[in-house]
Structure 1
Amino acid sequence: MQAILLAMVLRTFLFQPFSIPSGSMKPTLLVGDYIFVSKYSYGYSKYSFPFRLPFLSGRIWERIPERGDVVVFKFPVDTNKDYIKRLIGLPGDKIQMIDSVIHINGIPVRRVENGIFFDKTRFYQPIIPEFEESMPNGRSYKTIDLFPGDVSDTTGIFEVPEGHYFFLGDNRDNSSDSRYDVGMVPAELLVGKAQVIFLSLDNDVAAWKLWRWPKDMRWNRIFTFL
């Protein structure tokens, strides 16, 4: 009983596991990755808890996320859904993409081609160029651009309101994010910061199928910090 209570406390206030259901964050996160998200990183809101607390307004013990963080948040249109994306824009920022390059307040983000990503789920064009982006704070990460010059690679200017954030998926041509249906995400909807991959299973294997782990485990991804 004590172990169950401890697990509930840890999940509610400290770390919550999430599984990755889509490829919108490739190459950083793959379908079949399981991650721990720290609930305390940005403080707490009513959306931080399994049973929402209607009396809790805004965030308590709030800490501002950093550009480049991988963040789990509630989908603004339907708060029963969890999304995971990379934080690009802070309150007050002006964000624009021009020919696949992010511009923050008119300044382009450093972006260089750096390797390839082999996507085994694609029957054609499985080899995709990877690009390394570097945020102004020095945070670097990789993205992929499946269709260079696609309509999503050049946008208008997005002005991030106070108390909101702008997110992009690392798989830039296959992500529902702040450019489209997600829009600006209120701070209240942030659930936590993605910290580490603790399990990664290939071939759509469910985590409970323990007998498949030796064959389908992506061992090189375990304990990858995000």
Structure 2
Amino acid sequence: MADTPPPAAAPKAQPDSPKRSEAGETLRFLLKLALFVFVIRSFLFAPYSIPSESMLPRLLIGDYLFVTKWNYGYSRWSLPWGLPLIPGRILASDPARGDVVVFRSPDPAPGDTDPAHDDHDVIKRVIGLPGDTVQVRGGQVILNGKPIPKARVADFTLPLSPNFDAEKCGADHLDVVGGTQICRYRRYRETLPGGRSYDVLDQGDFPDRDDTDVYTVPAGNVFLMGDNRDDSADSRFPAPFGMGYIPMERLEGKAAITFFSTDGSASWLLPWTWFQAARPARIGEGF
């Protein structure tokens, strides 16, 4: 009888590939998500909340808006926390007069320890471009030697709320309409060369704010003002009382659209109050 061939050896079992731990997968996901948010926030869109009344009547305390990041190019201030990863300004483009921009405030002056003057994001309107002369006389802006047309329109009124109380309004501007306590300011319509117009407020006669020297905007800088002209620390005033000229590399983006607004009366622990505090009529307002 012929010899029976020995049975073929069973193939060796391949060792299982090491399984990724659940913690490792979670960490990888979070890192990818953080990178995605970093890119979107740095180069496309970023949210911004309004903390002060300097841009009334267009922007109220408690407004939340999206800022587009590509309009003026990119610098270190385009990145979260001002990470110094971009030298100077790349893909640069100058803003237009009338643009509402978010920018990084100038560095505090040496020896200035006031926390209010620390680096932080600020929002104002572009009034002067490089080479422009800007002056304020009697509360009217003089741009390149010509007064910007300023027409009186209906008063601006705003109901008092936790975000904007009687102290912020000022005793001289308090009023009552239909049993509701409101704040009332004189409102004007300014029209820039080229036809762009917007509303500004005038709270009264303040020589230190309504009459200034003539400023010539240096190259690479812009002259910015708040629409609430008597309550805005802007380019009319040097630091530490204002901000002076703002280098364009500190521009972070252009205000695009309001996506939420609250009057400040909500409690985070009571979700139903979020809807009561919301101001839905302001959602979707563009610039």
TM-score by length of 2: 0.74
2:279 match: 218
Of 50-59 and 60-69, more deviation after overlay is shown by 50-59
**1:65 paired residue among 88, 91, 95:** 95
Question: Using CA pairs below 8 Å that are at least 6 residues apart, which structure has the higher relative contact order?
Answer: 1
1:29 match: 59
Aligned residues: 226
More helix by share: 2
SS in 1 for 2:90: coil
Aligned counterparts of 1:144 and 1:213: Cα–Cα separation in 2: 29
Once the two structures are TM-superposed, the CA of residue 77 in structure 1 deviates from its matched residue by 2.4
Does the C-alpha gap of structure 1 residues 102 and 84 become closer, same or farther in structure 2, counting only changes over 3 Å?
Answer: same
Aligned counterparts of 1:209 and 1:85: Cα–Cα separation in 2: 34
What percentage of aligned pairs have identical amino acids?
A: 42
Aligned counterparts of 1:190 and 1:217: Cα–Cα separation in 2: 30
Once the two structures are TM-superposed, the CA of residue 63 in structure 1 deviates from its matched residue by 1.0
Q: How does 1:65-214 map to 2 (within 5 A)?
A: 65-78=95-108, 80-119=119-158, 120=160, 121=165, 122=169, 124=171, 125=173, 126-180=183-237, 181-203=242-264, 205=266, 210-214=271-275
Aligned counterparts of 2:103 and 2:266: Cα–Cα separation in 1: 25
Aligned counterparts of 1:31 and 1:16: Cα–Cα separation in 2: 18
Aligned counterparts of 1:132 and 1:209: Cα–Cα separation in 2: 40
Once the two structures are TM-superposed, the CA of residue 54 in structure 1 deviates from its matched residue by 3.0
Of 77-86 and 202-211, more deviation after overlay is shown by 202-211
Could you list the runs of 5+ residues in structure 2 that have no partner in the other structure? Answer: 1-28, 109-117, 174-182
Deviations along 1:59-79, one digit per CA (max 9) or x if unpaired, are 111111000011111111247
Once the two structures are TM-superposed, the CA of residue 127 in structure 1 deviates from its matched residue by 1.4
SS in 2 for 1:114: strand
Aligned counterparts of 1:10 and 1:19: Cα–Cα separation in 2: 17
Does the C-alpha gap of structure 1 residues 174 and 128 become closer, same or farther in structure 2, counting only changes over 3 Å?
Answer: same
User: 1:94 corresponds to which letter in structure 2?
Assistant: T
Deviations along 1:128-153, one digit per CA (max 9) or x if unpaired, are 11111111122111010001354311
Of 41-50 and 8-17, more deviation after overlay is shown by 8-17
Aligned counterparts of 1:44 and 1:208: Cα–Cα separation in 2: 39
Aligned counterparts of 1:69 and 1:11: Cα–Cα separation in 2: 20
Kept after mapping to 2: 8 A contact 1:32/1:204: no
SS in 2 for 1:7: helix
More strand by share: 1
Kept after mapping to 1: 8 A contact 2:265/2:273: no
Kept after mapping to 2: 8 A contact 1:109/1:134: yes
Of 197-206 and 125-134, more deviation after overlay is shown by 197-206
RMSD in angstroms over aligned alpha carbons?
Answer: 2.0
2:45 match: 15
